[in-house]
Amino acid sequence: MIKEHQSVWANCLKTIQKNINAQSYKTWFEPIKPVNLHENVLTIQVPNRFFYEWLEEHYVSLLRMSVRQELGERGRLEYQIMVTRPQQNDSKNRSSFVAQNSTSLQGSKITTGNDVKQNGEPKSTSSSGQIVNVAEIKNPFVIPGIKKMKIDPMLNANYTFDTFIEGDCNRLGRSAGLAISKKPGGTAFNPLFIFGNVGLGKTHLAQAIGNEVSSRFTDKNVLYVSAEKFTNQIIEAIKNGSINDLVNFYQLIDVLIVDDIQFLATKTKTQEIFFHIFNQLHQNGKQLVITSDRPPKDLEGMEERLISRFKWGLSADLSEPDFETRMAILEVKLKKEGLEVPSDVAEFICYNIKNNIRELEGVLVSLVAQSALVRKEIDLELAKEVIRNFVSQINKEITVEYIKGLVAEHFNLQPEKLQGKTRKRSIVIARQLSMYLAKNLTSKSLKGIGEMFGGRDHSTVIYSCKTVQDMMDTDLVFKDTVAELEKKLRMSLNGK
């Protein structure tokens, strides 16, 4: 039988899920666990303090509404913040403390419990527990015969937070990365485990953290290394009998960034050595940032004790960017390269390239090259020609006229009414909704959309889109109407 607190929280989640997008729900509400219900107070457990602060800052109104629907006007919410601290032994011997926050959803106070340490062991400066002479440690990144005193971070200077565009798809990871950059090793996000499909910016974000730390803390050693490079170093060290030197070198690092950790799968010896390095760095308050193409729980061929450690900090999912984020990314890249393309071409590119930021860059490079080669101005026709090399089938275009007809039919209006100047509420809503759908589902520019609604300008289109979004956020019936119309329009692409 489901406990009462679980039932109450499950009902709260149903309300919450209807009022936010799927990615935000997955990121901020799925990890929450209901703990207890006493009288009118529901206690929920969140992964860390940052998580709690984000909920309080961005979702307090939604939480208030959902809790009061279930518990009445006197309903209150308590947060239980669980933080685990690793030890040198296995994960069963981790120490922990619980910080609780009690709030009426109108304000909050925090009481933090005392740390409880178990099986604590003295920190050591090397794998053998002995003091290491830094001058004698070999740097595996230095070509033999060439001395180099300062450790090269192996970072790409172009990967910064300024060029990493924020959107719903990456907000958690970017926010955690910025927090780490200001206090490496001193946040709850250690390790920071960044995962997502190919081409979504994992390496960019990880290296942005490294570049920011290097800029802020010139005395700290930052190092970026791919899992493949690390494996090759292990193989070379075993051949040369210099494993201790390699381990000692890595223990000098203050911020270690390991890219594509999934490539350590089935490499038992490499995992064993990385496990030891991870433990030593973590216990000494050093920061670890790890990237992967999948979450920790899905890493096959990886030792369970490593997977357990990957879960100690924060796992941040980078998902596919929405249209607005893709447009922002493209605009930044155009500005950086000093290029200009018509707005309808930019929108058409972002409408068709959805899953991979690298492909977005590839289309842009190809478009510029093709334009120069054939000595033709960049226009929509050239963009279509180039994109055919990147996607198997260009999306069939939904026309603005088709959208107007469908919306007018739904509201029982003549399509011509949407172009007029009447301020009758039903017609205004239908017009604004048509503009909203046209912006999201066609390759037309804002100016082009406005012109097809009685010669209105782009600012009217922007205002209409914002109005529709606000109505969707507050009116679930209207939100369902928009979803149904979008479904019909998308089905028309496939001839259904």
pLDDT per residue rounded down to tens, the chain (496 residues): 455 888 999 999 999 988 888 777 887 888 899 988 988 889 998 877 767 777 877 888 899 889 988 888 888 888 887 654 444 444 333 333 333 444 444 433 333 333 333 333 333 333 333 334 444 556 666 545 434 446 889 999 989 998 898 888 888 899 999 999 999 998 889 999 999 988 888 999 999 999 999 999 988 999 999 999 999 999 998 888 888 888 888 988 999 999 999 999 999 999 999 999 999 999 899 999 999 999 999 998 999 999 999 988 889 989 888 777 888 888 888 887 777 777 777 877 777 777 777 778 788 878 878 777 777 778 777 887 777 766 654 445 567 887 888 888 888 888 888 888 888 888 999 999 999 998 888 877 888 898 888 888 888 999 999 999 999 888 888 888 898 888 777 655 544 4
Half-sphere exposure of 135 (CA within 13 A, CB side): 0
CATH 3.40.50.300 maps onto the chain at: 151-318
Question: What is the per-residue pLDDT for 452?
Answer: 86
Quote the tokens at residue 236. 């070379």
Topology annotation, domain 151-318? Rossmann fold (3.40.50)
What SS3 state is found at 290?
A: strand
Q: Which amino acid is at 343?
A: S
CATH 1.10.8.60 maps onto the chain at: 323-387
Question: What is the per-residue pLDDT for 391?
Answer: 62
CATH superfamily of 400-493: DnaA protein, C-terminal DNA-binding domain (1.10.1750.10)
- CATH number for the segment(s) 323-387: 1.10.8.60
* Other Cβ atoms closer than 10 A to 337: 12
* Other Cβ atoms closer than 10 A to 374: 9
CATH 3.30.300.180 maps onto the chain at: 4-112
Question: What is the per-residue pLDDT for 177?
Answer: 94
CATH 1.10.1750.10 maps onto the chain at: 400-493
**How many residues are listed for the chain in this entry?**
496
Question: What is the per-residue pLDDT for 475?
Answer: 86
Question: What is the per-residue pLDDT for 115?
Answer: 34
Q: Output b/e per residue, 145-154; b: 16+ Cβ within 10 A.
A: eeeeeebebe
pTM of the model: 0.58
- CATH number for the segment(s) 4-112: 3.30.300.180
Rg from Cα positions in the chain: 27
Helices (H), 242-322: 243-250, 268-283, 304-310
What SS3 state is found at 77?
A: strand
Question: What is the per-residue pLDDT for 9?
Answer: 92
Question: What is the per-residue pLDDT for 195?
Answer: 94
Where is 110: in which H helix or E strand?
A: strand 108-112
* Other Cβ atoms closer than 10 A to 241: 8
